[in-house]
């Protein structure tokens, strides 16, 4: 088997290797893995009828009847007798079952089983309109069966009705049924839903209180308090047992000065058995806290929390998430569970979901939980906020050029939930002596303000790509020139735990149109030690360019020092010795450079 896997990796486009591997997997009793290999062989060689038939039969054996039917239907249209028989062996019982259930519904009236069974058979026969119609009717009869909403969303996805599918899946994901929620999340987009998608889901399932509460908190985070208040008012009226929503509505009214209206909601919470929420209300009203013995936790909640803890210790993070969600369903007021849900989602790179859990957990009356959740909330804030503005300034003096350079940028990027983010930018690049080159290739001196728009990818394993188009306005002569630039950046950082040792490296490829359409590649690395806040390190830098300009091809190395002044503000000192890679008779082949700079950055 290892030899087969190595052969597949070496020649991934060879269908014959895939087929041989699939037959071997069949012999050792792995029909599901064999089915997947036959699918790849069929994709690589669409005219291989034998592979397609094997794939179809294995789909049937592994309970993928709809896919098997499609394969046999395609093959029988080419005149294949085996596929014809296999197709009818699947299709005829499905057709008969659909007809039987249609007659039963006509004779027996509306009932959940009839509509659900008819929809299931129709989906397997690719009669998607019929399947969607009866899945929806079945769910209307039993709204608590939210797994049917998942079925409906899946069929709507297959029909291309992505908006309707998202509504159904979003309602299932927040309906209080853990199994349905897990199935729905697997089909939903990886991004956090938009407000209009929440509203469409509520139009489909207006009685879904969990979904409405989630929308209310989303609107609050977006600063749309009036809209959030409207949702919490609906919950306070239609779901009086939802104390969390009642508390939130009371806080909104109290902050606006409507203390009489808020007091009615607060009284509801203060008279409940929820000590956590009641003490939060007392804290707002500046009333003394009441310490009561916590009621015994439900056995299933204890079991779920224990299983979640064991899964985390064993490294089974996805399993831990399932247990934590079940524990939260059993005890929605446990802030410790909320904090663990936040960190678990953060580990699984579901930052938008993690941010929401941090937001809830930081409201705990336990100062340890609240402080930890607040830190996580702030750390993820930049990753989930819609607009983010960054500004930085970097004055730098270089003895190599005997010049003072100043660089700066203000950039606002828009988070649309996609891996690519648009932005608008204003750069300032200049120096005192109008030097041709610069102290570093990414800071080419241009004596200009540069206005631009661009796009940049979200960093992925330290890799970022970006492109920008704009106009450079010279502050010396007032000239305006088109400016196009872009590049790819790769960064890696290593830190030794419980030690001050550090190392980092970056590799950048940069295109700049205004320097004769030049393309530069440079790597910068440093390794050193943190002596408290002060960092001492050794630099190693290499720069080359496509047009082989002598000033832009060099290597340099030497010690450096970084001294923090305040948050996001530090001084840098580097003593470098370098050598040019392209000789120029008008200057020496080696150089020394003392660089002193001041870095400051802010993010909003």
Q: Which of 195-204, 253-262, 294-303 has the lowest mean pLDDT?
A: 294-303
The 10s digit of each residue's pLDDT in 379-397 is 776 666 678 888 999 999 9
The 10s digit of each residue's pLDDT in 398-407 is 998 888 888 8
Q: Which of 33-47, 130-144, 262-276, 549-563 has the lowest mean pLDDT?
A: 262-276
Architecture per CATH, 2-63: Alpha Horseshoe (1.25)
pLDDT value for 454: 95
| Domain 299-384 part of CATH 1.20.58.760 | no
DSSP 188: S
pTM over 0.85: no
pLDDT value for 441: 45
Residue bearing the bigger pLDDT, 226 or 516? 226
CA-to-CA distance for 505 and 526, rounded, in angstroms? 7
All residues at 6 or more sequence positions from 351 whose CB lies less than 8 Å from its CB, including other chains: 345, 380, 383, 384
Query: Is residue 442 predicted with pLDDT exceeding 50?
Result: no
Indicate where the chain has its CATH 1.25.40.10 domain(s): 2-63, 208-269, 299-384
Query: Is residue 439 predicted with pLDDT exceeding 70?
Result: no
CB 376 within 8 A of CB 358: yes
pLDDT value for 497: 53
Confidence of residue 594 (pLDDT cuts 50, 70, 90): very high
Q: Please state, in angstroms and as integers, the Cα–Cα distance from residue 268 to each residue in 229, 250, 280, 282, 371, following that order.
A: 18, 10, 13, 13, 28
Q: Which of 128-137, 183-192, 586-595 has the lowest mean pLDDT?
A: 183-192
pLDDT value for 487: 94
Q: Report H helices in 125-224.
A: 128-141, 147-158, 162-173, 178-187, 195-204, 209-221
Query: Is residue 493 predicted with pLDDT exceeding 90?
Result: no
What percent of the chain is predicted at pLDDT more than 70? 92
3-state class of 593 per DSSP? Answer: strand
Query: Is residue 516 predicted with pLDDT exceeding 90?
Result: no
| Domain 208-269 part of CATH 1.25.40.10 | yes
Angle at 564 between CA 424 and CA 412, to 5 degrees: 10
pLDDT value for 410: 94
Mean pLDDT calculated for residue range 24-30: 84
pLDDT value for 372: 84
CA-to-CA distance for 549 and 544, rounded, in angstroms? 9
The 10s digit of each residue's pLDDT in 289-347 is 665 554 444 444 446 777 777 777 656 677 788 888 888 777 777 888 888 888 888 87
> Mean pLDDT: which of 63-67, 294-298, 335-339, 486-490 is highest?
486-490
Nearest partner of 148 among 134, 127, 164, judged by Cα: 134
Q: Name residue 406's beta-bridge partners.
A: 395, 430
Mean pLDDT of the chain: 85
Indicate where the chain has its CATH 2.40.160 domain(s): 387-603
Mean pLDDT calculated for residue range 520-542: 92
CA-to-CA distance for 77 and 337, rounded, in angstroms? 56
Q: Name residue 467's beta-bridge partners.
A: 455, 486
Query: Is residue 117 predicted with pLDDT exceeding 80?
Result: yes
Q: Please state, in angstroms and as integers, the Cα–Cα distance from residue 584 to each residue in 394, 547, 554, 556, following that order.
A: 30, 15, 12, 17
Query: Is residue 443 predicted with pLDDT exceeding 50?
Result: no
CATH classification (class only), 387-603: mainly beta
Residue with tokens 């009284």: 267
Helix (H), strand (E), coil (C) string for 444-486: CCCCEEEEEEEEEECCECCEEEEEEEEEEEECCCCCEEEEEEE
> Mean pLDDT: which of 183-187, 358-362, 541-545 is highest?
541-545
All residues at 6 or more sequence positions from 327 whose CB lies less than 8 Å from its CB, including other chains: 301, 304, 305, 308, 334, 337
Mean pLDDT calculated for residue range 489-511: 84
């Amino acid at each position: 088997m290892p030899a087969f896997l190595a052969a597949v990796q070496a020649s991934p486009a060879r269908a014959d290797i895939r087929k041989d591997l699939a037959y071997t997997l069949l012999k050792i009793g792995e029909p599901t893995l064999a089915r997947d290999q036959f699918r790849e062989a069929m994709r690589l060689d669409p005219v291989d009828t034998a592979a397609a038939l094997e794939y179809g039969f294995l789909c049937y054996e592994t309970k993928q009847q709809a896919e098997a039917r499609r394969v046999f239907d395609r093959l029988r249209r080419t005149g294949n007798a085996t596929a014809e028989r296999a197709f009818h062996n699947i299709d005829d019982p499905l057709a008969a079952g659909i007809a039987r259930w249609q007659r039963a519904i006509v004779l027996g009236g509306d009932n959940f089983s009839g509509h659900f069974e008819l929809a299931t058979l129709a989906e397997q026969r690719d009669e998607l309109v019929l399947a969607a119609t009866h899945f929806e009717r079945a769910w209307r009869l039993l709204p608590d069966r939210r797994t049917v909403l998942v079925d409906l969303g899946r069929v709507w996805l297959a029909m291309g009705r992505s908006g309707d599918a998202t509504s159904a899946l979003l309602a299932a994901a927040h309906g209080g049924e853990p199994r349905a929620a897990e199935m729905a999340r697997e089909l939903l987009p990886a991004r956090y839903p938009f407000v209009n998608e929440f509203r469409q889901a509520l139009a489909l399932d207006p009685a879904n209180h969990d979904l409405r509460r989630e929308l209310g908190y989303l609107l609050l985070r977006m600063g749309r308090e009036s809209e959030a208040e409207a949702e919490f008012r609906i919950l306070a009226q239609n779901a009086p047992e939802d104390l969390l929503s009642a508390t939130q509505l009371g806080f909104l009214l109290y902050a606006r000065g409507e203390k009489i209206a808020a007091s009615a909601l607060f009284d509801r919470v203060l008279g409940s058995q929820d000590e956590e929420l009641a003490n939060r209300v007392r804290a707002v009203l500046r009333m003394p806290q009441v310490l009561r013995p916590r009621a015994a936790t439900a056995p299933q909640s204890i079991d779920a929390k224990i299983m979640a803890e064991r899964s985390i210790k064993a490294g089974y993070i996805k399993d831990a998430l399932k247990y934590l969600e079940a524990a939260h369903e059993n005890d929605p007021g446990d802030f410790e569970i909320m904090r663990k849900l936040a960190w678990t989602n953060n580990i699984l790179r579901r930052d938008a979901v993690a941010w929401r859990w941090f937001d809830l957990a930081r409201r705990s009356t336990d100062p340890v939980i609240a402080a930890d959740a607040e830190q996580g909330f702030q750390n993820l804030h930049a990753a989930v906020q819609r607009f983010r503005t960054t500004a930085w300034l970097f004055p730098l003096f270089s003895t190599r050029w005997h010049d003072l350079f100043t660089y700066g940028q203000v950039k606002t990027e828009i988070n649309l939930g996609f891996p690519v983010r648009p932005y608008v930018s204003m750069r300032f690049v200049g120096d005192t002596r109008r030097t041709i080159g610069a102290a570093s290739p990414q800071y080419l001196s241009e004596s200009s303000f540069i206005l631009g728009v661009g796009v940049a990818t979200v960093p992925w394993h330290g890799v970022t790509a970006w492109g920008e188009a704009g106009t450079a306005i010279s502050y010396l002569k007032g000239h305006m020139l088109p400016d196009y630039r872009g590049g790819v950046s790769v960064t890696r950082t290593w830190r030794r735990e419980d030690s001050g040792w550090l190392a980092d490296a970056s590799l950048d490829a940069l295109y700049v149109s205004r320097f004769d359409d030049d393309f530069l590649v440079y790597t910068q690395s440093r390794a050193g030690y943190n002596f408290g806040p002060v960092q001492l390190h050794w630099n190693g830098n290499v720069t080359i360019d496509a047009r082989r300009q002598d000033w832009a091809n060099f290597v340099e190395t030497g010690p450096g020092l970084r001294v923090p002044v305040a948050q996001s503000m530090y001084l840098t000192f580097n003593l470098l010795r370098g050598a040019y890679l392209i000789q120029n008779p008008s200057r020496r082949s080696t150089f020394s450079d003392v660089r002193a700079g001041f870095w400051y950055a802010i993010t909003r």
